[in-house]
Structure 1
């Protein structure tokens, strides 16, 4: 029987909640058909949220308990026995307390956890991004329509799936900065009294600083050919320099946020025009990430695609706010099926790899996981063929 129930967990880009998804998967490997049974976001306790946002650190136990609480709430609301879940996929930032939080999730839930997608890809020469591509492919592939998936998370990324695409036909890359830059500007501008521009309400009141925008649009990352991923290019140094320059020009925080929001939208539109080839076929545009709740960013992004309509990825079965959690579940399942899900043509790795790390659950669950893997991977030679 090739049906299994998987969980996906991810810390959301704003660092204020846990995204949890329950995914039912029928079929195997890249022929599988995943369906999101339920998705929910569970708010973090204020102490944990503030520690993460301000970089002062939260303990692995606190993070693990928050993740486990999200699991319990999700399965309880869906009337699911946790013992029926085969595997949990976990997507967290790398390093520090995050690397050991998975241990607490296993201890509390008893379900095997798969995590740390990027590490193996990076060791093979890749960037570890895009994270969601193989999972997105299973949800978004279409025989009749080209599809462009735009993710507005901490960074802004693009994934293009031509009609009838195989995984080797995908184009994906980080187009430019995303919500992290906006959040950092707000944090600096309010001296930590506020941590985000909810809905873009401050940005829409400002004016775009054209000279600053032109300088940002000349950033080398935007013109670099894929595969490419954003690491530190738009990190603290960029934010501090931009903030100080705006203050010297007597620009307001609203002006800086307005300019940065224009920059995000222009990065996405420009990246699409530069690196996504026109095909002449109908094209669907689907948006995910926290940026879908920013009305000003949505408006500016729509202007980059005249004559086309932006829609949320919910329309193709991927919760717009839970794309990473859904991907974590599906990628865990693909790895267990023996699929090299890092897609080296997109990450720049030297080849396909079985990525991630498995932490065994309780004996009953771990026996089910290993039995599944043994059945799918009896022919080791098949592992790299799919990717």
Structure 2
């Protein structure tokens, strides 16, 4: 098993839109996708994971039960991908399981991603590598973002590039042709857009940004959102739902009564695009091309805003570099599992602020 080049990556991110599962072959160096699956969360599990983002009653038991349910859903995703590819469990070296983030407070010395890795190992019959972020935090780092090390290996080149992952939270990897790679969370990605859309339409996301595109951005609200202190911080930095959530938005809306919901959605779209573009201009201004991955790459209105704000730079999805934007993060955690088994570092101290390079992850044997 140790000689296998096949790994599975599992990612369920801040957007809570479901489980991304990717079976990856690393035999040629660069990742090759053999199978993928997107599994939406069952409604009850989605509701509980969302509720657990904030303090509540009986949390210890609820977290444990949610972790078990998540492991069962992960195992079903793994089985589906293996069946699609015709690959047996004993042909896979390991599963890289990110887990579901419930708290991310590196300034207090902790980050929490749940998902019962032991149960997943039992159900799948495959070794599991989990808890990737804690070691970086223990070394004084942010524990995030972790994908820039993967981006360097897969997307780095002779031109200065930036890669932007727009999930629930957006993060940027600065990939100069020469010199140190940098990366950081630049602010909200889809989390506010999805939450506002769900509040008013009962749907998990605004498909293609169509609702946002039908409204008009409100400049006063936009200025209030962009004035948050997070945007004044220099990298390394990371964030999550602990800061950017609908309650945060409601505080800014309190002094602006009567705004049409569609105009708030339009403002949130511009806010997300501008917060990304502003950080690229400030921290990666020499990048010649910007490549987008994550759910935001499927939002046509978002992509148009970014293209306009970042012109004359090329703005495209990572598919132009050979990896579909939907699967970049899942593949990254397959890669991080491979790094762990090889005893190789998975973090970049210049990105996270950790005291040094560290091997990331805890191993659960099959």
**CA distance, structure 2, for counterparts of residue 101 and residue 15 of structure 1:** 17
The CA deviation at 1:188 is 3.9
User: Which of 41, 44, 47 in structure 2 is aligned with 1:47?
Assistant: 44
Partner-residue secondary structure (3-state), 1:127: coil
Question: In the alignment, is residue 207 of structure 1 matched against residue 216 of structure 2?
Answer: yes
* Number of the residue aligned with 2:251: 241
* Aligned partners of 1:126 and 1:349 also within 8 Å: yes
User: Which of 99, 103, 106 in structure 1 is aligned with 2:121?
Assistant: 106
Question: Which is greater in Rg?
Answer: 1
Task: Give the alignment of 1:18-29 within 5 angstroms.
Answer: 18-26=19-27
Question: In the alignment, is residue 198 of structure 1 matched against residue 207 of structure 2?
Answer: yes
* Number of the residue aligned with 2:231: 222
Aligned length: 346
1:72–1:2 CA distance, 2 compared to 1 (3 A): closer
* Aligned partners of 2:49 and 2:66 also within 8 Å: no
1:316–1:151 CA distance, 2 compared to 1 (3 A): same
- Aligned-residue Cα RMSD (Å) equals 2.3
Instruction: State TM-score, norm by structure 1.
Output: 0.83
* Number of the residue aligned with 1:317: 322
* Number of the residue aligned with 2:98: 91
Unaligned regions of 5+ residues in structure 2, if any? 54-61, 104-111
* Aligned partners of 1:200 and 1:295 also within 8 Å: yes
* Number of the residue aligned with 2:59: none
**CA distance, structure 2, for counterparts of residue 351 and residue 287 of structure 1:** 28
* Number of the residue aligned with 1:178: 189
**CA distance, structure 2, for counterparts of residue 46 and residue 354 of structure 1:** 36
Question: In the alignment, is residue 130 of structure 1 matched against residue 137 of structure 2?
Answer: no
**CA distance, structure 2, for counterparts of residue 55 and residue 128 of structure 1:** 20
1:7–1:294 CA distance, 2 compared to 1 (3 A): same
Question: In the alignment, is residue 351 of structure 1 matched against residue 359 of structure 2?
Answer: no
Instruction: State TM-score, norm by structure 2.
Output: 0.87
1:304-338 Cα deviation digits (max 9, x unpaired): 11123322112223331122211110011012212
1:85-128 Cα deviation digits (max 9, x unpaired): 01110112245995342222111011111111111111111111
* Aligned partners of 1:134 and 1:331 also within 8 Å: no
* Number of the residue aligned with 2:284: 276
* Number of the residue aligned with 1:157: 171
Partner-residue secondary structure (3-state), 2:359: coil
* Aligned partners of 1:152 and 1:289 also within 8 Å: yes
**CA distance, structure 2, for counterparts of residue 276 and residue 16 of structure 1:** 29
Task: Give the alignment of 1:4-19 within 5 angstroms.
Answer: 4-19=5-20
The CA deviation at 1:354 is 1.4
* Aligned partners of 1:35 and 1:317 also within 8 Å: no
* Number of the residue aligned with 1:295: 300
**CA distance, structure 1, for counterparts of residue 221 and residue 254 of structure 2:** 12
Task: Give the alignment of 1:332-371 within 5 angstroms.
Answer: 332-361=337-366
* Aligned partners of 2:186 and 2:275 also within 8 Å: yes
**CA distance, structure 1, for counterparts of residue 30 and residue 96 of structure 2:** 17
Partner-residue secondary structure (3-state), 2:345: coil
* Aligned partners of 2:113 and 2:131 also within 8 Å: no
* Aligned partners of 1:89 and 1:332 also within 8 Å: yes
